[in-house]
């Protein structure tokens, strides 16, 4: 056999081998527990959604789906850990477009980007609200909030630098021509605890993470951030109605696998997620969390990711936000 023929034969054997392996992976996946990584702390919108998805995905996939919070460095730790994980479908990431695009745009040391992952499926869209503690001395309106911020030094909480909770508050402040100190936390849980305790003046967070506190009377929503009022908060104005038009904030969440994960494995995960998003019971659970299921075709989701990458990259440059 000539050397050229040997090389051709070798390439054919290698391709056949990996094709067979891919088929075996698809046939046996999943054969053990799947880790669903959240790059934020407990109580965040992403954490709440991850636990809901894990509950519904486990019986469909026939294996446990374990939620693991890997918070820190504004989500860098969690994102990097999944990017470096074995591309076998057993370690996947739940995140938002802010976590995927804003943090790398702000922080040159983040060293991750969309190219390091395979988009598996879109999951949800969640509106935000500007919130204060529900105490007699706290602002009663956006106008009151801005007046207080301009009259004395104030601070606001977020779940980390570059997160939607950070950018949302910055957009509100810039629109109002005001400034406040940014206090980042490792999740909505500790951020909201300090907000309710009076350690910070306000926050901008998802209704998914905050609605329970609003209903219990511990938090007061001054304005919501979508184009129209939320049906669950009909008496709360939008930011535009409150005098700050042009600020629209919503979290778009999805699931990603490490780059190189076999297509057959990604397709199995996507099919299981699609079943959850088509389940009437799950849809009702989404509604109770003030979250809208976002069940896009993968091509549409990838296009949405591309547009969000451009939008948030431009926003970071406009606001001149940088993280060391």
Give the pLDDT score at 12: 53
Beta-carbon contacts of 107 under 8 Å, excluding residues fewer than 6 positions away, are 74, 76, 161, 162, 322, 323, 324
Read off the tokens for 46: 């992403």
Contacts of 268 (CB under 8 A, 6+ apart): 26, 29, 30, 61, 89
Write out the chain's pLDDT in tens, 324 residues.
555 454 455 455 444 454 445 445 556 899 999 999 999 888 888 999 999 999 999 999 999 999 999 988 878 999 999 999 999 999 999 999 888 998 888 888 889 999 999 999 999 988 899 999 999 999 999 999 999 999 999 999 998 887 889 889 999 999 999 999 999 998 889 999 999 999 999 999 999 889 999 999 999 999 999 889 999 999 999 999 999 998 888 889 999 999 999 999 999 999 999 999 999 999 999 998 888 899 999 999 999 999 888 888 888 888 787 776
Q: Which 8-state DSSP code applies to residue 288? A: H
Q: Please compute, for residue 20, the number of CA atoms within 13 A of its CA located in the half-sphere on the CB side.
A: 6
| Identical topology for domains 18-125+252-319 and 127-224 | yes
Rounded to 5 degrees, φ, ψ at 169 are: -65, -40
* Whole-number pLDDT of residue 6: 45
Written as six digits, the tokens of 313 are: 């990259």
| pLDDT score recorded for residue 155 | 98
Q: List the CATH code of the domain at 18-125+252-319.
A: 3.40.190.150
- How far is the C-alpha of 237 from the C-alpha of 225, rounded, in Å? 9
Asked whether 49 and 291 are in contact (CB, 8 A), the reply is: yes
Sign of the CA dihedral running 116, 78, 293, 125: negative
Both tokens of 139, joined, read: 């602002």
Query: Would you call 112 helix, strand, or coil by DSSP?
Result: coil
Q: Is the dihedral of CA 207, 209, 212, 213 positive or negative?
A: negative
As a dihedral over the C-alpha atoms of residue 238, residue 240, residue 246, residue 251, rounded to 10 degrees, the angle is 0
Second CATH level (architecture) for the domain 127-224: 3-Layer(aba) Sandwich (3.40)
Q: CA 24 to CA 18: how far, in whole Å?
A: 10
Q: Can you give the residue ranges of every domain in the chain?
A: 18-125+252-319, 127-224
**How far, CA to CA in Å, does 9 sit from each of 19, 96, 131, 284?**
15, 45, 66, 56
What residues form DSSP beta bridges with 118? Answer: 257
Cβ-in-10-Å burial (0-12, 13-18, 19+) of 18 comes to: exposed
| Residue pair 53/65 in contact by the 8 Å Cβ criterion | yes
């Amino acid at each position: 056999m000539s050397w050229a023929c040997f090389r051709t034969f070798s390439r054919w054997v290698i391709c056949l081998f990996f094709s067979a392996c891919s088929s075996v992976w698809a046939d046996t996946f999943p054969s053990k527990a799947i880790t669903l990584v959240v790059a934020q702390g407990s109580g965040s919108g992403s954490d709440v959604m991850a636990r809901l998805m894990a509950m519904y995905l486990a019986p469909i996939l026939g294996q446990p789906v374990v939620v693991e919070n890997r918070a820190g460095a504004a989500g860098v730790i969690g994102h990097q850990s999944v990017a470096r994980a074995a591309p076998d479908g057993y370690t996947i990431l739940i995140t938002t477009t802010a976590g995927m695009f804003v943090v790398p745009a702000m922080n040159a040391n983040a060293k991750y980007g969309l190219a390091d992952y395979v988009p598996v499926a879109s999951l949800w869209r969640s509106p935000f609200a500007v919130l204060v503690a529900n105490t007699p001395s706290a602002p009663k309106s956006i106008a009151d909030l801005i007046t207080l911020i301009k009259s004395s030094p104030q601070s606001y909480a977020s779940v980390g630098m570059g997160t939607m909770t950070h950018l949302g508050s910055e957009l509100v402040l810039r629109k109002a021509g005001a400034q406040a100190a940014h206090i980042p936390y490792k999740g909505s849980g500790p951020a909201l605890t300090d907000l309710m305790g009076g350690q910070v003046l306000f926050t901008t967070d998802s209704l998914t993470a905050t609605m329970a506190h609003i209903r219990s009377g511990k938090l007061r929503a001054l304005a919501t951030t979508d184009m129209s009022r939320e049906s669950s908060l009909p008496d709360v104005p939008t930011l535009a109605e409150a005098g700050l038009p042009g600020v629209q904030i919503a979290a778009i969440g999805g699931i990603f696998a490490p780059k190189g994960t076999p297509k057959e494995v990604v397709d199995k995960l996507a099919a299981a997620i699609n079943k959850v998003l088509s389940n009437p019971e799950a849809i009702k659970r989404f509604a109770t969390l003030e979250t809208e299921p976002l069940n896009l075709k993968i091509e549409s989701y990838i296009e949405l990711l591309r547009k969000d990458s451009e939008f948030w990259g431009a926003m970071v440059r406009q606001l001149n936000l940088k993280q060391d």
